[in-house]
Chain A
Amino acid sequence: MVDMISRFKTLLATLALVVLAAIPAAHADDLKPLVDGLGKSGYAALRQAVGALAATGDPAVAPILQSLSTGDLYVRKSDRAVFAATKAEDGFKLTDPATGTDAGTATSGEIDKIKVNNAVREAVTTALGSLTLMSPDIAKRRLAAADMFRNGDPAQISLLDQAIAKESDAGIAATLQLARAAAVLKSDQPDADKIAAIHVLQTKGGRDVLGQLTAIEASSADGAVKTAAADALTSIRGTLKLWDGAQNILYGVSLGSVLLLAAIGLAITFGVMGVINMAHGEMVMLGAYTTFVVQELIRNNAPWLFDWSLAIALPLAFLVAGLVGVLIERMVIRYLYGRPLETLLATWGVSLILQQAIRTWFGPNNREVGNPSWMSGAFELGNLTITYNRMWIVVFSLVVFAALMLVLKRTSFGLQTRAVTQNRPMASSMGIRTPWVDALTFGLGSGIAGIAGVALSQIDNVSPNLGQGYIIDSFMVVVFGGVGNLWGTLVGAFTLGIANKFLEPYAGAVLGKILVLVFIILFIQKRPRGLFALKGRAVEA
């Protein structure tokens, strides 16, 4: 109790100091009660308090609200006073949110965190929007405008008008116009304005205006407004329908690229060497885990490198998976050439071992692999949302494919590989060290699987079961595309990907997959050697 009082004294002292010290403190001071208002219990009260703070229009409020939404504001039980608190060695270090001046310390028992939920966060964003609408920082303004648009608030119309008048950046101005329109629709302004607003939104089009339009269409009584809204909706929905097709193709391509990545390594080990590697999925998994380890190291030692983590992981993943591949080839597969079914069994065994090894080593749980900044988020292309990670994976898969083509077609190693796979004795008699080539080719295939793992770690679980999910699909791709033909794999992957994505909306995810599988089974009957089968004795042999 005593130290309570003393702490309170010091607080008063600091406050006094502040008052004497500076003028800004003056209104910081009359912010104080509002800020303490945040200490009231109940989310409704909290939202009101936020509104009240925002109403002051005082830029000093912005940081306070920021720290509120990030959950750094605490209320002191003793006097319900609100502070920004940061963990200190003994309990928390308090600072006055308004002035940022030190306000002593408190133990975790003495203060309660001010909990925020989505509703509050929303209120905060709106408030921040109105506050930063005029901010000199263009990025802030852009965000603010977007927020204003998302929850168009009639109360803000006048504010918006000012902002529009002042706004220099055309893009932001447009957004503000939309925001204004959205606000108008919710307001009780005359129908003429509302219809105008509707037209503004209609010209913008796209999914995010649908919401506001449907709302007004639903709410408003029959009349000009309703019809206008209805027309706008029908026209927008019409255009969106067209876009949906494009969207499906896009998704298909993206899925295809994943399949391609998963299958391309197999296309070498199975397609070129004729080795059934059931442990292929585990190679992918190894790649993913390599990424995890790399990121872990970076997190702990050099966080600034994080955006490069994947770039660093790629070669490592290739090496790790490649080496394991070479090992498997040397220790198991080389004794089984010409006995594909045995190879199949042996490698299946290897896959079990690898899985359990990873499980005992890293534990059975998923491991966190983060997206670097340039792989998170999405951008709009017309009405298409394209996520960066998907986009990069598509690009990446194609690059890998091209690189592989080059290696096989242009390099001497590639030449040797093809020589060996086509006529082993001949090749060896020509002085090619066939065992060496075998090992390297298998290593290459596995290494590429490893690279695929790096990419897949961006969209999927990094767990010991990662590989299992892809092995069957990748076999389907290779067989469907035609063994011994990388182009076949490419076409196969994208065909299956797109087919899958077009089925999904109608048949549902499960049935879609089944249909694709059945289709492949039947297809193999028709063309036992796949889409791009080479005819003739050379291949049959």
Chain B
Amino acid sequence: MNTPIDSTKVAHAKAKDSLLYLDGVSVSFDGFKALRGLSLVIEPGEMRAIIGPNGAGKTTMMDVITGKTKPDSGDVYFAGDTDLTRMDEASIASLGIGRKFQKPTVFESHTVWDNIDLALAGVRKPFATLFHRTTKAEIARVEEILETIRLTDKRDWLAANLSHGQKQWLEIGMLLAQEPKLLLVDEPAAGMTDAETAETAILLKEIAKTKSVVVVEHDMTFVRDLDVKVTVLHEGSVLSEGSLDVVSADPKVIEVYLGR
């Protein structure tokens, strides 16, 4: 669903050729300012790493983008002209923004297969799902994704019985199944073995070939593996932006973040 374009907005003009466009976004919970005038632009096909200490507002930013939290002020545009601040999670998701949580959240009492099947782009309306019959195409697609996330042999397991790493992957798989234009990935490497971490990095880069990806991460080595443009958040606004080397050279960043 597209909301009417408000052409009077100067900001909007700039938003036109970007995929995701945040400008002067502020959010506060009972006085605590989680975001203060955050501005961020993601180009189509870009992969971006976002780092920052606890409470920098990373998760809140994701909430704002995915429609969970409404900003007190500021603009959020997707694919140029879609105002995300006026939409709810479901419609934003179906616009093509996928989100992966920090703590892996999959449907524990569903099988791996069903998890992917549910995430599969397609029917979303209640009655449609009520009478929906799985098509050959869908089956093929699910199998394909299972391949990518290396869980084909566990297709009939209950998600609950997967290891932490496997859950992370399953969740990424679910994102892929959504066929999003933009992926928001929150600390994918959290609690993974080094091997898994490396693999995840490869997987993400794989994905980034076709989609824009925003990765929020603490793990520096992981960010280095990704080797992409980095944005440093601090106290709800952008502190510094650029390649990891540039950023880590930035005195402000060193002060608040790396220099601990």
Q: Judge A-B direct contact (beta carbons within 8 Å).
A: yes
Q: Which B residues lie within 8 Å of A536 (CB)? A: 29-30, 32, 34
Of listed B30, B34, B59, B60, residue having the most chain A CB within 10 A: B30
A165 within 8 A of B: no
Task: Mark out the residues of chain A between 483 and 541 whose CB falls within 8 Å of any chain B CB in the assembled complex.
Answer: 534-538
CB nearest to A537 among chain B residues: B29
Residue-wise interface mask of B (21-43) relative to A, using a CB-CB cutoff of 8 A (1 in contact, 0 not): 00000000110101000000000
Task: Mark out the residues of chain B between 210 and 245 whose CB falls within 8 Å of any chain A CB in the assembled complex.
Answer: none
CB nearest to B60 among chain A residues: A537
Q: Which A residues lie within 8 Å of B30 (CB)? A: 534-536
Measured between alpha carbons, how far is A109 from B211 in the docked complex, in Å?
108
CB nearest to B59 among chain A residues: A537
Main secondary structure of the interface of A (DSSP, over half): loop
Which size class do B's interface residues fall under? under 10
Q: Which A residues lie within 8 Å of B34 (CB)? A: 536-537
Q: Which B residues lie within 8 Å of A538 (CB)? A: 29
Measured between alpha carbons, how far is A536 from B69 in the docked complex, in Å?
9
Q: Nearest chain B CB to A266's CB is how many angstroms away?
A: 24
Of listed A534, A535, A536, A538, residue having the most chain B CB within 10 A: A536
CB nearest to A534 among chain B residues: B30
Q: Which A residues lie within 8 Å of B60 (CB)? A: 537
Q: Nearest chain B CB to A426's CB is how many angstroms away?
A: 13
Number of interface residues, chain A, beta carbon within 8 A = 5
Q: Nearest chain A CB to B105's CB is how many angstroms away?
A: 14
Task: Mark out the residues of chain B between 126 and 177 whose CB falls within 8 Å of any chain A CB in the assembled complex.
Answer: none
Measured between alpha carbons, how far is A537 from B61 in the docked complex, in Å?
13
Task: Mark out the residues of chain A between 390 and 436 whose CB falls within 8 Å of any chain B CB in the assembled complex.
Answer: none
Q: Nearest chain B CB to A85's CB is how many angstroms away?
A: 76
Q: Nearest chain A CB to B56's CB is how many angstroms away?
A: 14
Measured between alpha carbons, how far is A514 from B121 in the docked complex, in Å?
46
Q: Nearest chain B CB to A135's CB is how many angstroms away?
A: 68
Measured between alpha carbons, how far is A537 from B34 in the docked complex, in Å?
10
Q: Which B residues lie within 8 Å of A535 (CB)? A: 29-30
Of listed A534, A537, A538, residue having the most chain B CB within 10 A: A537
CB nearest to B68 among chain A residues: A540
Q: Nearest chain A CB to B33's CB is how many angstroms away?
A: 11
Measured between alpha carbons, how far is A536 from B30 in the docked complex, in Å?
7
Residue-wise interface mask of B (1-36) relative to A, using a CB-CB cutoff of 8 A (1 in contact, 0 not): 000000000000000000000000000011010100
Task: Mark out the residues of chain B between 186 and 206 whose CB falls within 8 Å of any chain A CB in the assembled complex.
Answer: none
Q: Nearest chain B CB to A539's CB is how many angstroms away?
A: 9
Q: Which A residues lie within 8 Å of B59 (CB)? A: 537
Q: Nearest chain A CB to B122's CB is how many angstroms away?
A: 30
Q: Nearest chain B CB to A277's CB is how many angstroms away?
A: 27
Measured between alpha carbons, how far is A45 from B30 in the docked complex, in Å?
79
Measured between alpha carbons, how far is A241 from B60 in the docked complex, in Å?
56
Q: Nearest chain A CB to B109's CB is how many angstroms away?
A: 16
CB nearest to A536 among chain B residues: B29
Measured between alpha carbons, how far is A457 from B30 in the docked complex, in Å?
41
Measured between alpha carbons, how far is A538 from B32 in the docked complex, in Å?
11
Q: Which B residues lie within 8 Å of A537 (CB)? A: 29, 34, 59-60
Measured between alpha carbons, how far is A534 from B30 in the docked complex, in Å?
7
Measured between alpha carbons, how far is A351 from B217 in the docked complex, in Å?
49
Measured between alpha carbons, how far is A538 from B34 in the docked complex, in Å?
12
Measured between alpha carbons, how far is A86 from B247 in the docked complex, in Å?
104
Measured between alpha carbons, how far is A274 from B59 in the docked complex, in Å?
25
Measured between alpha carbons, how far is A433 from B66 in the docked complex, in Å?
39
Residue-wise interface mask of A (169-210) relative to B, using a CB-CB cutoff of 8 A (1 in contact, 0 not): 000000000000000000000000000000000000000000
Measured between alpha carbons, how far is A534 from B32 in the docked complex, in Å?
12
Q: Nearest chain B CB to A438's CB is how many angstroms away?
A: 24
Q: Nearest chain B CB to A131's CB is how many angstroms away?
A: 71
Measured between alpha carbons, how far is A535 from B29 in the docked complex, in Å?
6
Q: Nearest chain A CB to B29's CB is how many angstroms away?
A: 3
Measured between alpha carbons, how far is A538 from B60 in the docked complex, in Å?
12
Q: Which A residues lie within 8 Å of B29 (CB)? A: 535-538
Measured between alpha carbons, how far is A357 from B34 in the docked complex, in Å?
52
Measured between alpha carbons, how far is A538 from B31 in the docked complex, in Å?
13
Measured between alpha carbons, how far is A221 from B60 in the docked complex, in Å?
83
Q: Nearest chain A CB to B71's CB is how many angstroms away?
A: 13
Measured between alpha carbons, how far is A537 from B30 in the docked complex, in Å?
10
Measured between alpha carbons, how far is A536 from B31 in the docked complex, in Å?
10
Q: Nearest chain B CB to A313's CB is how many angstroms away?
A: 41
CB nearest to A538 among chain B residues: B29
Q: Nearest chain A CB to B226's CB is how many angstroms away?
A: 27
Measured between alpha carbons, how far is A536 from B34 in the docked complex, in Å?
10
CB nearest to B29 among chain A residues: A536
Q: Nearest chain B CB to A454's CB is how many angstroms away?
A: 37
Measured between alpha carbons, how far is A257 from B29 in the docked complex, in Å?
32
Q: Nearest chain B CB to A250's CB is how many angstroms away?
A: 35
Measured between alpha carbons, how far is A535 from B60 in the docked complex, in Å?
13
Q: Nearest chain B CB to A462's CB is how many angstroms away?
A: 43
Measured between alpha carbons, how far is A503 from B74 in the docked complex, in Å?
45
Task: Mark out the residues of chain B between 37 and 63 whose CB falls within 8 Å of any chain A CB in the assembled complex.
Answer: 59-60
Measured between alpha carbons, how far is A538 from B59 in the docked complex, in Å?
13
Measured between alpha carbons, how far is A535 from B69 in the docked complex, in Å?
11
Q: Nearest chain A CB to B128's CB is how many angstroms away?
A: 27
CB nearest to B27 among chain A residues: A536
Q: Nearest chain B CB to A199's CB is how many angstroms away?
A: 62
CB nearest to B63 among chain A residues: A537
Q: Nearest chain B CB to A466's CB is how many angstroms away?
A: 38
Of listed B29, B32, B34, residue having the most chain A CB within 10 A: B29
Q: Nearest chain A CB to B177's CB is how many angstroms away?
A: 27
Q: Nearest chain B CB to A457's CB is how many angstroms away?
A: 40
Q: Nearest chain A CB to B35's CB is how many angstroms away?
A: 12
Measured between alpha carbons, how far is A536 from B27 in the docked complex, in Å?
10
Q: Nearest chain B CB to A405's CB is how many angstroms away?
A: 19
Measured between alpha carbons, how far is A536 from B28 in the docked complex, in Å?
8
Measured between alpha carbons, how far is A373 from B30 in the docked complex, in Å?
49
Q: Which B residues lie within 8 Å of A534 (CB)? A: 30
Q: Nearest chain A CB to B113's CB is how many angstroms away?
A: 29
Measured between alpha carbons, how far is A257 from B59 in the docked complex, in Å?
43
Q: Nearest chain A CB to B61's CB is how many angstroms away?
A: 13
Measured between alpha carbons, how far is A62 from B60 in the docked complex, in Å?
85
Measured between alpha carbons, how far is A536 from B55 in the docked complex, in Å?
13
Measured between alpha carbons, how far is A392 from B78 in the docked complex, in Å?
62
Q: Nearest chain A CB to B30's CB is how many angstroms away?
A: 6
Measured between alpha carbons, how far is A538 from B29 in the docked complex, in Å?
9
Q: Nearest chain A CB to B216's CB is how many angstroms away?
A: 16
Per CB-CB distance, the 7 closest pairs between chain A and chain B, nearest first, are A536-B29, A535-B29, A535-B30, A536-B30, A534-B30, A537-B29, A536-B32
The 12 listed contacts between A and B (C-beta, < 8 Å) are A534-B30, A535-B29, A535-B30, A536-B29, A536-B30, A536-B32, A536-B34, A537-B29, A537-B34, A537-B59, A537-B60, A538-B29
Residues in chain B within 8 A of chain A (CB atoms): 29-30, 32, 34, 59-60
Q: A534-B30, A536-B29 are in contact. List 10 more A-B contacts (CB 8 A).
A: A535-B29, A535-B30, A536-B30, A536-B32, A536-B34, A537-B29, A537-B34, A537-B59, A537-B60, A538-B29
